[in-house]
Chains A and B, each alone.
Chain A
Amino acid sequence: MHQVMIDTDILEANEQMADHNRGHFKEHGVYVVNLMSAPGAGKTSVLEQTINRIKDDYRLGVIEGDLMTTIDADRISALGVPSYQITTGTVCHLDAKMVHSALYSFKIDDLDLLFIENVGNLVCPAEFYLGEDLRVMVYSTVEGADKPKKYPMMFHESKAVLLNKIDLLPYSGVSLDELRRKVLEVSPETIIFPVSCRTGEGIDEWIAWLEWRIASA
């Protein structure tokens, strides 16, 4: 018997694939946002609000990830934006290979901005890079203030957190300050946007920041 030292990152193969995707995106000048959250936090609603405001300024595309159904991709298509649904079956996250396969269904040269809506899950998607420029989380006020402490990795990985459903704050039993403080303890450099996809409040601020990120990429 003999021992072989490996010292290799377990997810190296995914990271290499993510780098490969990143190469495609750079070559074609596409800015890519990976949107993550728990199920029901409002990722697709955030996309709808965002798309409605910027679809004349950018050539958009959306990749949707879910275990089953094309409901989300249908919602995006209804806005006149090309979308592709990845149905993972039983897999709880998107990985770089799935995204690479999905790219064949887009005319990537015709895109400026690609959103990837990950599978609704607060754990697994954080571990798999897709080749994105930006990781953004949606965290809804009705999920309770304990989520950043219970699931710190995803918050820690996100450059921005959209605190969605602020219109429901009066009913959720938590304050915006508490939610904000918990996110910042786990991820001090994350920028937080309180928003409501129902009323549209705060969406302009998020978009202004996103456009600044795109412009400075």
Chain B
Amino acid sequence: MHEVAIVQSVIDIAENEARKHGAPSIRKIKLKVGEFRGVVKEALEFSFAALRKGTLAAEAELEVETVRLRVECGGCGPVDCPLNDFNLLCPRCGDLLAIVAGREMQVEYIDLEDAEAICTR
């Protein structure tokens, strides 16, 4: 369950950014997480629901986009690499395959509440 540590980092990054912009709260946090990371989407959501309390993201939505694993052979081009039988040797020529996508773990963007919007005298 290192998702707790990961979500804590997400909230820290988002809160820092919100403060920099003087925003009263965060509406949404969008993440990109590759399939080839040891991270479970449901565990991220569960951790977020617990950790967001008392932060600027207390009311925020969390969207997690899963980035598909893509691998490529230098000679043969893109190769299908099923997660069910992960194999970094090219099925055609036996060469080493390179991971070109699926290792991401990023905060892509956040939506911030504007300071004026809640300023109702």
Interface residues of A (CB under 8 A from B): 1-14, 91-93, 95, 123-124, 126-128, 149, 151-154, 156, 184-189
User: Given A152-B36, A185-B89, does the pair A4, B110 have CB atoms closer than 8 Å?
Assistant: yes
User: Given A13-B9, A124-B2, does the pair A3, B111 have CB atoms closer than 8 Å?
Assistant: yes
For the complex of A and B, the 10 pairs showing the least CB-CB separation, nearest first, are A124-B2, A123-B38, A185-B87, A6-B107, A152-B86, A188-B96, A10-B105, A5-B109, A153-B38, A10-B9
Q: Which residue of A lies closest to B26 (CB)?
A: A4
Q: Which of A1, A3, A154, A187 contacts B88 (CB 8 A)?
A: A187
User: Given A7-B106, A8-B107, A14-B9, does the pair A1, B114 have CB atoms closer than 8 Å?
Assistant: yes
Q: A1-B112, A6-B107, A10-B105 are in contact. List 19 more A-B contacts (CB 8 A).
A: A1-B27, A1-B111, A1-B117, A2-B112, A3-B109, A3-B111, A3-B112, A6-B13, A7-B106, A8-B13, A8-B106, A8-B107, A11-B9, A91-B2, A92-B1, A127-B39, A128-B5, A149-B85, A156-B36
- Residue B59 CB within 8 A of the other chain: no
Q: What is the predominant secondary structure among interface residues of chain B facing chain A?
A: mixed
